[in-house]
Amino acid sequence: MRKITKIVIMLMIVLVLISYVGVVNAASVGMTLNSSSKLKVGDNVEVTLKISNITAGEGIDAIVATLNYDKNVFEEVSQNNFTGMNQWNVNLYATDTQIFTITKSAKVNTPSDVLKIVLKVKSPVNVNSTEIKIKDITASGGAVDVGGTGDIVVQDVKVNVLKEETTKPPVQDKPNTSLPKTGEEVWIMASIAVLSIVAVIAYVKYRNIKFK
């Protein structure tokens, strides 16, 4: 009888563990990172983190992740560069590790923008594009033992920001500095040419008459 009781207890423990793993594995969250900004000296680049495709029971209320960006392109980011959206709050950003945490007072299970990050472009811009990435993402909807989702590992997201193209001004034709000849000038030049011819003919005739 005792053996049967032990076997039943072990089976119950196994079933509980299986159900626990099933809950953790079933939960998933999709994320995207978007930006319409361009790289321009002194300007700001804005990126927006959005959550979508949430399959996590009642939803999630916390996100921990790491920001990755090129410090040769952007000035160093601080917590002031982070803004929570749709009632998400920025609780922490560590400049040394670039890890940040955002939370919300109520769980959410519908797609929405959750975070905006502003990065200032350095001078000069020596690249044609740069990548901004959020990695090592973990979303959570609370502890499993109290009905939450537990930790949900989310795939890294990134966005590529292009350098702003500068348009060169059109090349203008050099102005023509030579003045067009007027009708009067043409007539004077023609008259001088005719007089020159007449003078030559007269000189030739004079010489012929003189030496006869």
> Which secondary structure element, helix H or strand E, spans residue 190, and what is its range?
helix 183-210
AA identity, residue 172: Q
What pLDDT is recorded for position 142?
87
Arithmetic mean of pLDDT, 184-198 = 65
Residue 115 backbone phi and psi in degrees, to 5:
-155, 140
Contacts of 41 (CB under 8 A, 6+ apart): 121, 122, 123, 124, 125
Taking residues 91-97, report their average pLDDT: 97
Average pLDDT, the chain: 83
pLDDT at res. 172: 67
Judged against a pLDDT cut of 90, whether residue 85 lies above it is answered with yes
Minimum mean pLDDT among 50-59, 132-141, 171-180: which range?
171-180
Of residues 174 and 43, which shows the higher confidence score?
43
In 3D space, the residue among 142, 170, 137, 141 whose CA is nearest the CA of residue 154 turns out to be: 137
Q: Mean pLDDT over residues 195-208, rounded? A: 64
Query: Which residues does 82 contact at the CB level (< 8 Å), separation at least 6?
Result: 90, 93, 100, 102, 115, 116, 117
- The highest-confidence range among 23-32, 115-124, 201-210, by mean pLDDT, is 115-124
Band (21; pLDDT cuts 50, 70, 90): very low
63, 134 contact by CB (below 8 A): no
Q: Is residue 211 over pLDDT 60?
A: no
pLDDT band (50, 70, 90) for residue 7: low
Give the pLDDT of residue 23: 42
By mean pLDDT, which of 30-34, 166-170, 179-183 is the weakest?
A: 179-183
| C-alpha span between 21 and 151 (Å, rounded) | 12
The residues facing 44 across adjacent strands are 120
Distance CA 125, CA 123 (A): 6
Q: What is the pLDDT of residue 45?
A: 98
pLDDT per residue over 50-67, tens digit each?
999 999 888 999 999 999
In the DSSP assignment, the letter for residue 81 is G
Q: Residue 136 CB: number of other CB atoms within 10 A?
A: 14
| Per-residue model confidence (pLDDT) at position 25 | 46
**pLDDT for res 167:** 66
Residues 6+ apart with CB under 8 A from 54: 28, 29, 30, 60, 108, 109, 110, 111
